[in-house]
């Protein structure tokens, strides 16, 4: 596996997505596993895919696991349906899914506040047969405004993410400009300015976008970055992306936030999925 540029690594703050790495372990054991691998920061998709409102005891248990491991949660998804899987978001899906998203907004924000998390990701939601896309977009804006206000209440950023069309063909935000347009609409509607772009280099590369141009155009509107190599969605060095160079470019464009490791470890346990990153570069201040 190719070695990641040490200079590029020194300029970043890396966190581990515990919803895609260390999945051979139960959820509550993953923060400690990340800490044992040298990481001090983690992120999560909404862990309770069956419910937007888990019992208080389950929320408290996750907080304790994070605290006991000494890991900081730096990013959390709002309820987004079944991930990974065909469901991609809930907030623009009329009926039960939209209601579930709304029920989750304050639950997720309050949990984020309890663990010091300052970034909440709201996946947009697939297009639905028989529903006017304009009606879905209006519902999405309404729910994103609610989410932005909840995030603002706890001093957090609301993230809007572009996915990729090959893997999520019914998800409408499959380019950086499409996601940034939604970010701008939310900020205009709320006047809060706390909506930001989640720049996922894997998804954008799958869409065939010019990643250098995306970074140059949208670094100032980026609130979080996620990485995986392409093809394969594996660790840096397993595909063709110059992730070292892209992160260096992001830093040069002014981005100094978190970089989430959101890749698949393949048939190896999560603890063996970080040979590309020297251990001294894993812990973030």
pLDDT digits (tens, 9 = 90+) for 16-26: 999 999 999 99
Active site residues: 161, 262
Identify the residue whose tokens are 């939601």.
125
Residue 243 lies in a domain: yes
Q: Read off the CATH number of the domain in which 86 is found.
A: 3.20.20.150
Tokens of 44: 């999560």
Residue 92 lies in a domain: yes
SS3 track for 192-224: CCCEEEEEEHHHHHHCCCCHHHHHHHHHHHEEE
What is the structure's pLDDT at 152? 98
Residue 4: pLDDT over 80: no
Residue 71 lies in a domain: yes
Contact 229, 203 (CB under 8 A): no
Total Cβ atoms within 10 A of residue 130 = 5
Contact 81, 116 (CB under 8 A): no
pLDDT tens per residue across span 90-122: 999 999 999 999 999 999 999 999 999 999 999
What is the structure's pLDDT at 85? 64
Contact 259, 12 (CB under 8 A): yes
Residue 69: pLDDT over 60: yes
Rounded-to-integer distance, Cα 194 and Cα 122, Å: 13
> Mind giving me the DSSP string for 131-199?
S-HHHHHHHHHHHHHHHHHHHHHTT-EEEEE---TTT-TT-S--SHHHHHHHHHHHHHHHS---EEEEE
Rounded-to-integer distance, Cα 239 and Cα 232, Å: 7
What is the structure's pLDDT at 227? 98
Residue 177 lies in a domain: yes
Domain containing 139 equals 6-281
Tell me what the mean pLDDT of segment 157-182 comes to. 96
pLDDT over 70 for what percent of the chain? Answer: 94
Contact 120, 92 (CB under 8 A): no
* Better-scored residue on pLDDT, 63 or 8: 63
Residue 82: pLDDT over 80: no
Residue 199 lies in a domain: yes
Q: Number of folded domains in the chain? A: 1
Contact 80, 100 (CB under 8 A): no
Residue 10 lies in a domain: yes
Residue 205 lies in a domain: yes
What is the structure's pLDDT at 269? 82
Name the nearest CA neighbour of 285 among 26, 60, 15, 98.
Answer: 15
Identify the residue whose tokens are 């992001």.
250
Cα 97–Cα 156–Cα 273 angle in degrees, nearest 5: 80
Contact 198, 121 (CB under 8 A): yes
Tell me how far apart the 2 most distant CA atoms of the chain are, in Å.
Answer: 53
Tell me what the mean pLDDT of segment 178-207 comes to. 98
Give the pLDDT band of residue 1 (cuts 50, 70, 90): very low
Residue 1 lies in a domain: no
Contact 183, 195 (CB under 8 A): yes
pLDDT tens per residue across span 252-280: 999 999 999 999 998 888 888 999 999 99
């Amino acid at each position: 596996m190719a070695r990641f540029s040490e200079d590029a690594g020194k300029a970043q703050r890396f966190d581990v997505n515990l919803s895609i790495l260390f999945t051979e372990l139960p959820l509550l054991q993953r923060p400690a596993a990340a800490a044992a691998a040298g990481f001090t920061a983690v992120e999560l998709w909404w862990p309770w895919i069956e419910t937007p409102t888990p019992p208080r005891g389950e929320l408290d248990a996750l907080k304790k696991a994070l605290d006991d491991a000494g890991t900081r949660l730096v990013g959390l998804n709002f309820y987004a349906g079944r991930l990974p899987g065909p469901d991609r978001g809930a907030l623009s899906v009329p009926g039960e899914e939209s209601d579930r998203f709304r029920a989750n907004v304050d639950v997720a924000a309050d949990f984020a506040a309890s663990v010091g998390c300052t970034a909440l990701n709201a996946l947009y939601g697939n297009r639905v047969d028989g529903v006017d896309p304009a009606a879905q977009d209006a519902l999405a804006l309404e729910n994103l405004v609610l989410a932005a206000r909840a995030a603002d209440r706890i001093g957090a950023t609301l993230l809007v993410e572009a996915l990729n069309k090959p893997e999520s063909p019914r998800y409408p935000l499959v380019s950086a400009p499409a996601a940034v347009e939604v970010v701008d609409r939310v900020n205009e509607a709320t006047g809060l300015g706390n909506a930001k772009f989640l720049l996922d280099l894997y998804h954008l590369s799958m869409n065939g976008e010019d990643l250098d141009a995306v970074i140059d155009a949208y670094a100032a509107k980026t609130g979080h970055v996620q990485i995986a190599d392409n093809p394969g969605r594996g660790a840096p060095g397993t595909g063709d992306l110059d992730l070292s160079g892209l992160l260096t470019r992001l830093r040069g464009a002014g981005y100094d936030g978190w970089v989430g490791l959101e890749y698949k470890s393949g048939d190896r346990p999560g603890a063996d999925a970080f040979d590309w990153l020297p251990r001294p570069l894993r812990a973030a201040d």
